[in-house]
Amino acid sequence: MNRQFDEFKKFIEGKETAVVGIGVSNRPLIDLLIKLNAKVTAFDKKSESELGTVVEELKAKGVKLVLGKEYLEKLKGYEVIFKTPSMRIDSPELVDAKLQGAYITSEMEEFIKYCPGKIYGVTGSDGKTTTTTLIYKMLSEQGYKTWVGGNIGTPLFSKIEEISKEDRIVLELSSFQLMTIHENMEVALVTNLSPNHLDMHKGMEEYISAKKNIYLNQTSEDLLVLNNDNSITRSMINEANGKVFLFSINNKVDKGAYYYNDKLCIMGKEVCSKNEVKLKGMHNIENLLAAFCCVYEDVSLETMKKVATTFTGVEHRMEFIRELNGVKYYNDSIASSPTRTLAGLKAFGRPVILIAGGYDKKISFDILAEEGYPYIKTLILLGVTKNKIKEAFEKVIQKNNTELRIIMVDSLEEAIKVSKDEANEGDIVTLSPACASFDMFPNFEVRGNKFKEIISEL
């Protein structure tokens, strides 16, 4: 019995409630609100024909619909508004609604507020999904009933009555979600921070400030886990309200996890050696160390070792697809930032044929060019950002008086055809775009699946 959630039930009953966005993640929320007798109106910029069968399903449940390009203009007169994570809280429509007395929230905010179990919040620029999955696996392996949500897994607010105080909940949280979250989480992790999502944020300062919400409301009992090797996350140590564990691949740390002498250790105790770890690359050693810190108080070293030495990775993250004519193909579609692509390139340990480019998040590609060019044999570029990436690499090539073959293409199909022509036996081809997918695909999963489908048919 979740007594806290009873408060929400009383609060929402009979209220005129708007849900902005009829995407897959909001549909369980709509069903929950109907069950709790809220008066639900669903908003979406897509038309009835674009949304398809869901329209009739919602109408049959008594949900009113406001659809089409001007949908937000009608966001007036509601007592409660559930916004979609990417909708800025300072958008004029929400500001107006708030002035008129609306309570503005999101599925994730309400979940964290009423969740009875122990929450592990994970954020950062790179490594979130893998680390979230590692924490989930370790807690499950230890025997806890564990839930995973946020950016991955299922929308959890609709399941809140099934969750008990003894359960463990792991949430992957983006900067957009965190902008409006002011609830405390028992364990908070910031994996690393580098420029990202500057198309959505007003600048790097706002991006960092949003990430900080993961720990600013913690209490003295709570735990903050930070990357000691990243200057931005290291500077957050003094802002912690509770305990701090650090992780590092460069130095031993007193409290936390570190990599030393080919060994992964926590609190001075060895968990496993690097050659026992199935995941490729030092960025994944960092992810493991971060996960060890988060679960240290809940799981045994044996459990940590078991997961570290058996987990082979998450789909779309340096995922091996096949070998054809001696050429290995990898899908790293999750790499939607330059730093993430760079980590993947370094993990292969030799120059590869890289397919990159996509939607413009208004971030610089200089770091990818400056540090990445020795790891690239041929660079194949597509998408809105292809010229921007090419310029960054050309500057570096000129400065270092070196050479790099750069080929511009117009589609993923063409990129794969060119990569096949360019590759010799023993080569590696990787899709690691350094950009979001929205110029060509709805999300990185669809992009990755399309890549896998074409490679499998070669």
| CB distance 264 to 291 below 8 Å | no
Tell me what pLDDT residue 200 has: 63
For residue range 117-138, what is the model confidence (pLDDT) as tens digits? 999 999 998 888 899 999 999 9
Element (H, E) at 244: strand 243-248
Same domain, 128 and 265: yes
- Mean pLDDT, residues 176-201 taken together: 82
**pLDDT range class, residue 306, cuts 50, 70, 90:** very high
For residue range 24-54, what is the model confidence (pLDDT) as tens digits? 778 899 999 999 999 999 999 999 888 888 8
Q: Which percentage of the chain shows pLDDT scores above 90?
A: 71
Same domain, 150 and 276: yes
For residue range 73-101, what is the model confidence (pLDDT) as tens digits? 889 999 999 998 778 888 889 899 999 99
**pLDDT range class, residue 23, cuts 50, 70, 90:** confident
Tell me what pLDDT residue 179 has: 85
Same domain, 67 and 23: yes
Tell me what pLDDT residue 151 has: 77
Distance separating alpha carbons of residues 178 and 214, to the nearest angstrom: 7
Distance separating alpha carbons of residues 421 and 367, to the nearest angstrom: 28
Q: Which residue segment(s) compose the domain that 23 sits in?
A: 3-105
Mean pLDDT of the chain: 92
pLDDT at 225 over 90: yes
**pLDDT range class, residue 292, cuts 50, 70, 90:** very high
Question: Which CATH number goes with the domain that contains 436?
Answer: 3.90.190.20
Q: Domains in the chain: how many in total?
A: 3
Same domain, 60 and 193: no
Of 357, 366, 378, residue with least CA distance to 433 = 357
Q: How would you classify residue 401: left for phi > 0, otherwise alpha for psi between -120 and 50, otherwise beta?
A: left
- Mean pLDDT, residues 438-455 taken together: 90
- Mean pLDDT, residues 231-257 taken together: 95
Same domain, 99 and 113: no
Question: Which CATH number goes with the domain that contains 38?
Answer: 3.40.50.720
For Cα atoms 142, 147, 148, give the angle at the middle one, nearest 5 degrees.
Answer: 110
